[in-house]
Structure 1
Amino acid sequence: MSVSKLIIGLLCAVLCACQPGGNTTKNEDATDSLASQVVTVKSLREDSIVIAAVGDIMLGTSYPNASTLPPDGGKRSFNAVMDDLKNADLTFGNLEGVLLDTGAAAHYKLHQKSKAYMFRMPQKYVWLLKDAGFDLLSIANNHIGDFAGAGRASTMKMLDSAGIRYAGLRSHPTAIINVKDIVIGFSAFSPNSNTVPFLDLKNASRIIGELKQQTDIVIVSFHGGGEGTEFEHVPFKTESYNGENRGDVHAFAHNAVDAGADLVLGHGPHLTRAVERYKNRLIAYSLGNFCTYRGINVTGLCGIAPLLKINVNKKGEFISAKIIATQQTHPGGLKRDTTKRVIKRMKFLTETDFPQSGLHIDDNGLVTPVN
């Protein structure tokens, strides 16, 4: 397919998108051998699907007190990019924290050697996520354990109440969603307690392979790699941070695709990393800090992140993508970045870390295959 056709296809996909946030329904006929949940997302496009993917979301924390919550109750959190989130067939993000109104922090967290960050979002904030169009969230990360079992249980309860699907806990490793009669499976992994193990590649292959047998397209999310600007590049080896094994993200991503994943979405380093095309599937190694309120550093490179609109065919094969540049400041919040810094950075990182990736990123953020 020519680059011009790819561009036209992507523009048509974006312009014709409907808003899935308010019209999800249960699919009563779907089977669920992996204890996954099923919903249907309606769409106008028939030849491909568009997936909106973002990184870390933490809409303020009520711990230790309400001073670290946004003064407007988070109502304007996603305003700058609301249309882009909702105008997709499926919208994904990483929920960096729990949905819980009250409760004590996990005992082990309070005794960590490094400064403990506790992210406890009010339960009602689930409707901010719902109204922004999120259909699918990863809860496989280090902050899902901030308030122990109560935090995990409350988070799942609230996401269920809003009809937002999620995966990443050992008790809830996968989810299944129908998009335009395409069955999409989702699994999420992390090196943290009570989450689906990121470091066990054999087990990951099993979960992904079983999910692939039930679905047409498999999306895999992972929380891995070191944190901070010194971890901007994919190192092609095991990473450690504060004495913790954060895994080999490159080995995990390739293992996931080999096992049947069609799209791999990373987060964890709190900044953006490169993208790669492997076996005609897209891998995004870190989507950075997308929408956070205090508690997370958003200075410099940590304050820019992509909203990635990914176009794949019904087999999950990569067609094209669009990087929408965003930036954050505290307390200014999430905004579009007219200087397109994250586009420039992703282009540089991809060309540096994956010179043979088979991807071209232009100055406006259009990502296309080159061979």
Structure 2
Amino acid sequence: MKFPVISLLTIGIAVAYLSCASSTSSAPLPQIEPDTPIIAKKDTISIVAVGDIMIGSAYPDRSNLPPDDAIDSFKAVDSLLQGDIVFGNLEGCLLNNGKSTKCKDPNSNSCFAFRMPERYAGIIKKAGFNLLSIANNHVGDFGLKGRRRTTEILDSLNIHYAGLQSHPSSLFEKDSVKYAFCAFAPNENTLSINQTDSAKQLVARLKEQADIVIVSFHGGAEGARFEHVPRKKEIFYQENRGDVYAFAHAVIDAGADVVLGHGPHVTRAVEVYKQKFIAYSLGNFCTYGMFSLKGPNGFAPLLQLKINARGEFLFADIVSVKQDKISRLTLDPADNAFKKLRFLTNADFPEHNLVFSGRGHIEQKKN
């Protein structure tokens, strides 16, 4: 007669079970879920960041909307806007109608008030953006109505944002990583870049709640004459645009992991401070209509940043893009943004410990 083969492991489990049952017959056995996944935090976090985005304004009339109704605004870079975080500065409000009290003569070439049609938000979402700064000098071009409608639309699309006094920060989670975001500017109804102590307190509170804290600022003087980071307050058209160098260092001291700047409409230097990455200006990224795109205003970096789970800089790649009034946003085979960024970093931060190589790679020097 053949007997079934019983493994020693099976016998051992049975003996152990009977032993436990006899000694603690009233105690229930622990229930173990067999295939429960253990989720670990990511070792490497990918952040894609660009500067100003304003893909067409219907104010003062539809002549400032692109001929394709903005549908192909990001066509040249669609494949590059992919990461855990895809960030940009929304330079204007989302609003279908309304007049701006900012301009005495809305048809004047010196009046800049931006009102993107509300449907354009879907184009920005489809391109891949999931994090936007709305702290800038154009979010309030159409008053409370414009600010309120912008936040309603971004909420409806699940695009995270921050920068208004009514919405100073954002907390969210993605792939088991908790992110916090806050944004600053020198403009009315935004979080002030000039109140450093308040900024530090906010960042410190956010760091207690998040793994990675991202800070954005809209600051510094504008145009090709102001490419350098001066390490002092920048006064432009009698407005204090902040000391962006002191601000960036202060928020990192308070707990920020990445600092992303915009506002000057040109590329500025980058820096790694206490192992945390700072971009001082990401320039004009995708700006249709009344923006000047002459000279350095017409090219910008698309930043592909890698940090570790502690928020420390690993490396970055810069994809250079350019704009003109006819071709709009395209890749730049001459790599002007990367070359300018390298030149300015060497000039403004000669003590830096970075290596610039190839057509856009940045890493720290090996010890």
Deviation per CA, 1:43-67: give whole Å up to 9, x if none: 9994211000000000011000000
Distance 1:62 1:110 in 2: 17
Structure 1 length-normalised TM: 0.86
Is 2:49 the counterpart of 1:62?
A: no
Distance 1:45 1:214 in 2: 15
Residue correspondence of structure 1 range 137-216 to structure 2 within 5 A: 137-216=132-211
Q: How far is 1:280 from its partner?
A: 0.3
What residue identity is the alignment partner of 1:288? G
Post-superposition Cα deviations, 1:295-328, rounded to whole Å, max 9, x if no partner, equal 1111110010011000000111000000001000
Pair 1:346–1:221, CA change in 2 (3 A) = same
* Cα shift at 1:109: 4.6
The reply to whether residue 120 of structure 1 matches residue 115 of structure 2 is yes
- CA deviation after TM superposition for structure 1 residue 360, in Å: 1.5
CA-to-aligned-CA distance 1:115-139 (integer Å, 9 cap, x gap): 3201000000000011001000000
Distance 1:264 1:109 in 2: 33
- Give the 3 Å change call, closer, same or farther, for CA 44–335 of structure 1 in structure 2: farther
- 1:182 offset after TM fit, Å? 1.0
Number of the residue aligned with 2:253? 258
Q: Secondary structure at the match of 1:301?
A: helix
Show the counterpart of 1:102.
97
| SS in structure 2 at match of 1:236 | coil
SS of match in other structure, 1:247? coil
Aligned to 2:243: 248
SS at 1:210's partner residue? Answer: helix
Name the counterpart of 2:225: 230
Q: How many residue pairs are counted as aligned between the two chains?
A: 327
Q: Distance in 2 between matches of 1:269 and 1:208?
A: 24
Identity among equivalent positions (%) equals 49
Distance across 2 between alignment mates of 1:114 and 1:195 = 26
1:48 paired with 2:36, answer no
Determine the structure 2 residue equivalent to 1:84.
80
Q: Deviations over 1:132-185 (max 9, x none)?
A: 010000000000010000110111011111110100000000011212211110
Mapped partners of 2:131, 2:181: distance in 1: 8
Structure 2: 5+ residue stretches without partners: 1-38
TM-score normalised to structure 2 length: 0.87
Say yes or no: does 1:312 pair with 2:307.
yes
Pair 1:357 & 2:352 matched? yes
Which is greater in Rg? Answer: 2
User: Do the aligned partners of residues 46 and 96 (structure 1) sit closer, same or farther apart at CA in structure 2, a change above 3 Å counting?
Assistant: same
- For 2:187, the aligned partner's letter is N
Displacement of 1:276 in angstroms is 0.3
Report SS of the residue matched to 2:190: coil
Q: Structure 1: how far apart are the matches of 2:302 and 2:244?
A: 21
Q: Letter of the aligned partner of 1:54 in structure 2?
A: V
What secondary structure, in the 3-state scheme, does the structure 1 residue paired with 2:260 have? strand
Alpha-carbon distance in 2 for matches of 1:171, 1:110: 27
4+ aligned runs moved over 4 Å, structure 1: 111-114
What secondary structure is seen at the aligned counterpart in 2 of 1:352?
A: helix
Task: Give the superposition deviation at 1:331.
Answer: 2.6
2:131 to 136, 143, 148: 136
Q: Once the two structures are superposed, what CA deviation does each residue of 1:97-121 show, in whole Å capped at 9, x if it has no partner?
A: 000000110x245489993201000
> Is residue 40–residue 176 contact of structure 2 (8 Å, CA) maintained in 1?
no
Aligned to 1:298: 293
Structure 2: which amino acid aligns with 1:68?
A: N
Two-structure CA RMSD over aligned residues (Å): 1.8
1:325-364 Cα distance to aligned partner (Å, 9 max, x none) = 1000003110000111111110000011011122112131
Q: Is the 8 A contact 1:278 1:357 kept in 2?
A: no
Asked if 1:217 is matched to 2:212, the reply is yes
Q: Aligned partners of 1:137 and 1:200: how far apart in 2?
A: 21
For the 8 Å contact 2:196–2:247, the answer to whether it is kept is: yes
Aligned-partner residue type, residue 211 of structure 1: L
Rounded to whole Å, the distance in 2 between the matches of 1:163 and 1:145 is: 21
Q: Secondary structure at the match of 1:297?
A: coil
Q: Does 1:341 align with 2:333?
A: no
